[in-house]
């Protein structure tokens, strides 16, 4: 598990650095993003809710249940192993997204950062923890965390297309700033939190050799791709 702790350390360090870099510019970037032309803001309002936990959890959870039931019924059928793989796939997404959701909502509650809509009266750096009020739950961004977890899972499963998945996660994250729901540092923290969760469950699944196996360097590699050499 040394590789897991090293990789986690790099992700947490990157999160810390990015948040520190963005924080001084949060207010300015947020105001300029919200002032973009109407069609740009409108487009981002249309796509931003793709990053909600609800549809991800319901869809992957339901598919995991269906796949598990079918796998139990077809225990001796030639398709049984494929169904079990599908169950593990949906379970991987569900656990990644559910855990990311729990973590981000806990952090929101503990930190209590005021959202951009309260900027005129409270500024960009007001922290009011333990309120349970959505207006004081800006950091980290929940939508960005969901996008990081969702596309992070795809990234772990299909690393060849990592730049595509990173770009899609960034699109959702940037949309949260443009629609005035979050500051850039909220988005950076959320995306990396979600990605870390996807990575963590890849390590867990690799230990059981579900979907992943460890390569020569101790990194979880998709089982359906050739195992890379050290």
pLDDT in tens, 141-168: 999 999 999 999 999 999 999 999 999 9
Determine contact, residues 152/195, Cβ cutoff 8 Å: yes
- Kindly report whether the global pTM for this prediction surpasses the value 0.95: no
User: What is the pLDDT averaged over residues 196-222?
Assistant: 95
Please give the pLDDT value at position 79.
72
CB-based contacts of 156-162 (< 8 A; 24+ apart in sequence)? 156/198, 156/199, 156/202, 156/212, 156/220, 156/222, 157/89, 157/92, 157/211, 157/222, 158/222, 159/221, 159/222, 159/225, 160/225
- Overall size of the chain counted in residues: 230
Please give the pLDDT value at position 131.
94
Please give the pLDDT value at position 21.
95
pLDDT above 90 coverage of the chain, percent: 79
Does residue 228 surpass a pLDDT of 60?
no
CA angle 188, 174, 26 (to 5 degrees): 60
User: What is the pLDDT averaged over residues 90-118?
Assistant: 97
Within 10 angstroms of residue 68's Cβ, the number of other Cβ atoms is 17
Averaged confidence pLDDT in the chain: 92
Q: How far apart are CA 216 and CA 27, in angstroms?
A: 45
pLDDT in tens, 56-79: 988 988 888 888 888 777 666 667
Q: Which of 31-40, 80-89, 190-199 has the lowest mean pLDDT?
A: 80-89
Domains annotated on the chain, with CATH: 2-222 (1.20.144)
Please give the pLDDT value at position 70.
80
The residues that bridge with 222 in the sheet, in sequence order, are: 212
Determine contact, residues 150/97, Cβ cutoff 8 Å: yes
User: What is the pLDDT averaged over residues 3-11?
Assistant: 94
């Amino acid at each position: 598990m040394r590789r897991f702790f090293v990789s986690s350390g790099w992700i947490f360090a990157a999160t810390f650095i990015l948040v520190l870099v963005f924080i001084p510019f949060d207010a300015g970037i947020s105001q300029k993003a919200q002032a973009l032309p109407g069609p740009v803001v409108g487009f981002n309002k249309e796509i931003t809710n793709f990053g909600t936990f609800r549809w991800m959890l319901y869809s992957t959870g339901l598919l995991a249940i269906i796949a598990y039931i079918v796998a139990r019924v077809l225990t001796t059928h030639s398709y049984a192993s494929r169904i079990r793989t599908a169950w593990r796939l949906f379970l991987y997404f569900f656990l990644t997204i559910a855990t990311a959701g729990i973590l981000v909502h806990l952090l929101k509650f503990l930190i209590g950062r005021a959202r951009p809509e309260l900027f005129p009266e409270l500024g960009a750096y007001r922290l009011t923890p333990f309120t349970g009020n959505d207006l004081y739950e800006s950091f980290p961004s929940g939508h960005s965390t969901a996008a990081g977890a969702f596309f992070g899972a795809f990234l772990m499963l299909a690393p060849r297309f990592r730049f595509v998945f990173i770009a899609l996660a960034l699109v959702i994250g940037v949309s949260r700033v443009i629609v005035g729901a979050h500051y850039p540092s909220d988005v950076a923290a959320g995306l990396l939190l979600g990605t870390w969760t996807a990575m963590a469950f890849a390590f867990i699944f690799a230990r059981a050799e579900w979907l992943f196996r460890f390569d020569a360097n101790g990194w979880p590699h998709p089982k359906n791709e050739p195992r890379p050499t050290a």
